[in-house]
Chain A
C-alpha cells in the first residue's frame, strides 16, 4: 500500500459552507459529539429533493419517483463505500445509531440469544448501546457482563479476556467513547471475540464521522452510526451487517416495502436491504447523508483526523493550565478522538456550560447518556468539548478564556465573603 497524501484541511474555506458560523462573534460550536452542523451542499441536496423531485420511492411509475429512488439508492452506495462494505445491500437505513442497535437486539437477538448466554459490554457504553441489551437480557434471561476500564479510561484488556468464555454470544462495544474520547482497540476485541465464537457489534457513532472505518478490515459483524454526527441531517442512521447474518435474521418492523408478498395470515419478505426498511423511509435525510459523506470525504477523513488531533492536543495543554481542572480519559491525546471531558473544582458543569453560553460557546454538560461511566468516574456529570472539521484554534482559545471567566465569576462571591 502506498502512503496516502493529503492536503491539510482548509478550515477557513470549510467554515464558509456553514451559515451558522456567519455571526460575529462566530459561534464556537464545541458539542459535535452530540450533533454536528450542516454544510450548505447537504441542505441544498435536501432542498432539491423537496423542490424538484419530491415523491415516494420504490413505488411510483413516474419520472420524479424514479429520480427519488435513484438518489436514495445512490446515498446507500456512498455509505457502503465510506465504510467499505462488500455489498451495498449490507447497508440498512435506520433513524439513528439507537435504532440500528435496537434492530440487532430484536431481530438477531430474538433468534440467537438464550437464557444463560452472555453479552459483553463495557462500562463506557452510551445508553443506546446498553439499554437495548438490558431489554434483550430481560426478555431472554441472558446475562450482561461489563469490561472494566482503567483509571485513565482505557479498556482493561485482561479483564476482557477473563470475561470471554464459550457462553459469550455477543460483544457490544463503542469504537470511541463519547465521554472520554478513548479509541478502543476494536480490532483486537473483534479477533478475541471471534475466537470464542461470539459476534461483535460496533457502536461507531463517534468513529465513522471522524476517521476511516473499514468493516472488512475490522471484520465486525455489525456496525452502527448516525448521520447527524457527520454533517448529515437528523433522522437518518446506518446499520451495516455481514451478509449471511442479515439474511438469516427475521424482520424487525413489519409493514410496507419490506414484503415480497402478503397473504391474509402470512407474508414473505423482501430481499435485503428492503427487509429491514419497513414503511416510507427518511428519503430527504438519506439523500442528505449521501451528500454529507461526499462532503467529509472530499475534505478528506485523514486530514480531518489530523486536524482534530491538533485541536485536541492544543486543548489538552491549554485546559491543563487552569487551576482546579480535572480532565477525564486517556492523558495521551494519541489514544483519543476529539473529545475532552472535564470538571472544574467547586463548579457544577451546568454552570460552566451556562456561563460559556453567554459568550457564544456551546459545550455539553451532563451525564452524556453514560450514567454507568459517570458512576465509575465517581462524578455526577462532566463538561465536555468535542471537535469537528470546522473548529479552530481560536475556538479552543475562547473556550480557555471562557473557563477562566467562569472561574472568576464563580469564585468572586467566595472571595468577597472570606475577605
Chain B
C-alpha cells in the first residue's frame, strides 16, 4: 500500500523550514478543531518577496508534511504569486487521494498562511461557496 508515499513521510520525518522566526513580519497560528492539529507560520517579507519562512506545530503526517512542502513552495516567491495557491496545488504536492476529514489536515497550512498574509479566513477551496 502506498497510502503514505515516501516523499510524504520524508517531509514528516525531516520537515523543511521547521521552527520559528525571532522577528517575523507575519506570524499566524491556527488549529483544526476537528483533530487538534496545530500549525504556526512565520514569514519575513521584503518588497512583497517572502525571504524567509518557518512553520511549527504538531499533528498528523499529512498536516505536517503539507506544511513542510508549502514552505518550500513559497520561499522566494512574491506574496502576490502565493495568494494564487489553491487547494488543488496542495493536493498535487501531497499526491495521494484524501477523504474530506484528512483534506482539512492537508489544507491547514495553506489556511494559516492565507489567514496570516491576506486575512482570508475560510478554508481553501471554500472561497466561492
Which A residues have a C-beta under 8 Å from some C-beta of B?
Answer: 348-351, 354-355, 357-359, 365-367, 374, 380-381, 409-410, 412-414, 417
**Cα of A55 to Cα of B4 in the assembled complex, Å:** 50
Q: Give min CB distance, B24 to chain A, whole Å.
A: 25
**Cα of A417 to Cα of B10 in the assembled complex, Å:** 9
**CB-based contact A354/B60 at 8 Å:** yes
Query: Out of A359, A380, A410, A413, which one reaches B36, CB within 8 Å?
Result: A380
**Cα of A374 to Cα of B34 in the assembled complex, Å:** 13
**CB-based contact A355/B4 at 8 Å:** yes
Specify which chain A residues have a CB less than 8 angstroms from the CB of B13 in the assembled complex.
413-414, 417
CB contact under 8 A between A413 and B10, given known A358-B1, A358-B3, A367-B36: yes
Q: Give min CB distance, A407 to chain B, whole Å.
A: 13
Taking A380-B35, A380-B36 as given, write out 10 further A-B residue pairs in contact, using a Cβ cutoff of 8 Å, ordered by the A residue number: A350-B35, A350-B102, A354-B102, A366-B35, A380-B58, A409-B3, A410-B4, A410-B9, A413-B12, A417-B13
Q: Give min CB distance, A263 to chain B, whole Å.
A: 45
**CB-based contact B9/A412 at 8 Å:** yes
CB-CB nearest in chain A for B59: A348
Specify which chain B residues have a CB less than 8 angstroms from the CB of A380 in the assembled complex.
35-36, 58
Specify which chain B residues have a CB less than 8 angstroms from the CB of A359 in the assembled complex.
1
**CB-based contact B3/A413 at 8 Å:** no
**CB-based contact A413/B6 at 8 Å:** yes
CB contact under 8 A between A366 and B34, given known A348-B60, A348-B61, A350-B105: yes
**Cα of A354 to Cα of B104 in the assembled complex, Å:** 13
**CB-based contact B9/A381 at 8 Å:** no
CB-CB nearest in chain A for B4: A409
Specify which chain A residues have a CB less than 8 angstroms from the CB of B6 in the assembled complex.
413
Some 8 contacts from A to B, beta carbons below 8 A apart, are A348-B60, A350-B59, A351-B4, A381-B35, A410-B9, A410-B61, A413-B12, A417-B13
Q: Give min CB distance, B14 to chain A, whole Å.
A: 7
Asked whether any CB of chain A lies closer than 8 Å to the CB of B62, the reply is yes
**CB-based contact A381/B36 at 8 Å:** yes
**CB-based contact A350/B3 at 8 Å:** no
Of B4, B58, B62, B105, which is in contact with the most chain A CB atoms at under 10 Å from its CB? B4
Specify which chain B residues have a CB less than 8 angstroms from the CB of A355 in the assembled complex.
1, 3-4
**CB-based contact A354/B9 at 8 Å:** no
**Which residues of chain B (75-129) have a CB below 8 Å from chain A?**
102, 105
Specify which chain B residues have a CB less than 8 angstroms from the CB of A348 in the assembled complex.
59-61
Q: Give min CB distance, B4 to chain A, whole Å.
A: 6
CB contact under 8 A between A351 and B60, given known A366-B35, A367-B35, A367-B36: yes
**CB-based contact A413/B9 at 8 Å:** yes
Specify which chain B residues have a CB less than 8 angstroms from the CB of A367 in the assembled complex.
35-36
Specify which chain B residues have a CB less than 8 angstroms from the CB of A381 in the assembled complex.
35-36
Specify which chain B residues have a CB less than 8 angstroms from the CB of A350 in the assembled complex.
35, 37, 59-62, 102, 105
**Cα of A355 to Cα of B6 in the assembled complex, Å:** 14
Specify which chain A residues have a CB less than 8 angstroms from the CB of B9 in the assembled complex.
409-410, 412-413
Q: Give min CB distance, B47 to chain A, whole Å.
A: 37
Q: Give min CB distance, A39 to chain B, whole Å.
A: 26
Of A354, A355, A358, A409, which is in contact with the most chain B CB atoms at under 10 Å from its CB? A354
**Which residues of chain B (30-55) have a CB below 8 Å from chain A?**
34-37
CB-CB nearest in chain B for A367: B36
**CB-based contact B34/A351 at 8 Å:** no
**Cα of A410 to Cα of B1 in the assembled complex, Å:** 13
Specify which chain A residues have a CB less than 8 angstroms from the CB of B4 in the assembled complex.
351, 354-355, 409-410
**Cα of A365 to Cα of B60 in the assembled complex, Å:** 11
CB-CB nearest in chain A for B7: A413
**Cα of A365 to Cα of B61 in the assembled complex, Å:** 14
Query: Out of A357, A358, A365, A412, which one reaches B35, CB within 8 Å?
Result: A365
CB-CB nearest in chain B for A405: B1
Q: Give min CB distance, A169 to chain B, whole Å.
A: 31
Q: Give min CB distance, B15 to chain A, whole Å.
A: 12
**Which residues of chain B (1-26) have a CB below 8 Å from chain A?**
1, 3-4, 6, 9-10, 12-14
**Which residues of chain B (52-78) have a CB below 8 Å from chain A?**
58-62
Specify which chain A residues have a CB less than 8 angstroms from the CB of B62 in the assembled complex.
350-351, 354
Specify which chain A residues have a CB less than 8 angstroms from the CB of B14 in the assembled complex.
417
Specify which chain A residues have a CB less than 8 angstroms from the CB of B36 in the assembled complex.
366-367, 374, 380-381
Return the 10 tightest CB-CB contacts between A and B, nearest first. A350-B60, A348-B60, A380-B36, A413-B9, A358-B3, A351-B61, A358-B1, A351-B60, A413-B13, A366-B35
**Cα of A351 to Cα of B59 in the assembled complex, Å:** 9
**Cα of A334 to Cα of B35 in the assembled complex, Å:** 30
**Cα of A86 to Cα of B47 in the assembled complex, Å:** 76
Of A349, A355, A359, A380, which is in contact with the most chain B CB atoms at under 10 Å from its CB? A380
